[in-house]
Amino acid sequence: MSSLLFDLKTFGTIEKATFLERPNRFKALCEKDGKVVSCHVADPGRLKEIFIPGREVLVVKHPPGMKTQYKLLAINVDGEWVLLNTSIHSKIGEKAIKKGVLGFIPKKIKREVSFGISRIDYLLDDKIFVELKGTNLLLDNCCLFPDAPTERGARHLRELKEAVKQGYESYILFMGLRKCSCFKTHERLDPTFATEFKDALKKGVKFKGFKIHLNVDDFTVHLGDELVLCNDGV
């Protein structure tokens, strides 16, 4: 089975630039061909360890009339290309699910399904809820989530627990965007999410994880190894 999850060239012609600064959550300034250009940042996370001035980035030019000139796709972190465009996480996650990262291949997938006061990323075969989270924070060879406090993330975990109570199966699925040995919650940064995560696993929500790899030779995203929980991850 092919490991291909997404082809970034579907966005258009991919070019390289140099990251300069991030004046706000959704905008980065980069240098390209000797000029400063504005780039849209889809990931609202803090990304302090990632957005270091001077790092190489992949960008795609926007059509005229947009607020920014380019779309930011990925950044080179010490030789490792890290995907930053969260707008395609859902598509990548769906493709990974179809390749069996949950341990089975569903016959039907619905995206963005309402449950409680939230929208859960996927409903499989009308009976299995799956919420996808991407982790790009690396510390001591561990992939951590979140990199900023997230009430939304905690709420999703509560919804998954409620779905289990109502007779559904539920999964919290983490996509590792970095090379790491295992996953754990960032308890020091967001103790509420960490507590909800531990409680969710105790109450029947299942954890699964997978890593992705960005090939800059042809700008494609591929399925990597399984992302497992660290020994102290729960």
Over its length of 234 residues, how does the chain's per-residue pLDDT go in tens digits?
689 999 999 999 999 999 999 999 999 999 999 999 999 999 988 899 999 999 999 999 999 999 999 999 999 999 999 999 999 999 999 999 999 999 999 999 999 999 999 999 999 999 999 999 999 999 999 999 999 899 999 999 999 999 999 999 999 999 999 999 999 999 999 999 999 999 999 999 999 999 999 999 999 999 999 999 998 655
Joined tokens for residue 128? 């299995």
Q: Angle of helix 191-202 relative to helix 151-165, nearest 10 degrees? A: 10
User: What distance in Å separates the CA atoms of residue 12 and residue 108, rounded to the nearest whole number?
Assistant: 30
Q: Give the residue among 233, 161, 162, 149 at the shortest CA–CA distance from 202.
A: 161
pLDDT of residue 232: 61
Domain ranges, ordered by start, for the chain: 4-83, 86-226
pLDDT score for 7: 98
Fold of 4-83: OB fold (Dihydrolipoamide Acetyltransferase, E2P) (2.40.50)
Residue 228: DSSP 8-state: P
The answer to whether 108 and 124 are in contact (CB under 8 A) is yes
Partnered with residue 32 across adjacent β-strands are 35
> What is 86-226's CATH number?
3.40.1350.60
Q: Which residue type occupies 54? A: G
pTM of structure: 0.94
Q: Give rounded-to-5 percent helix, strand, coil for the chain.
A: 20, 45, 35
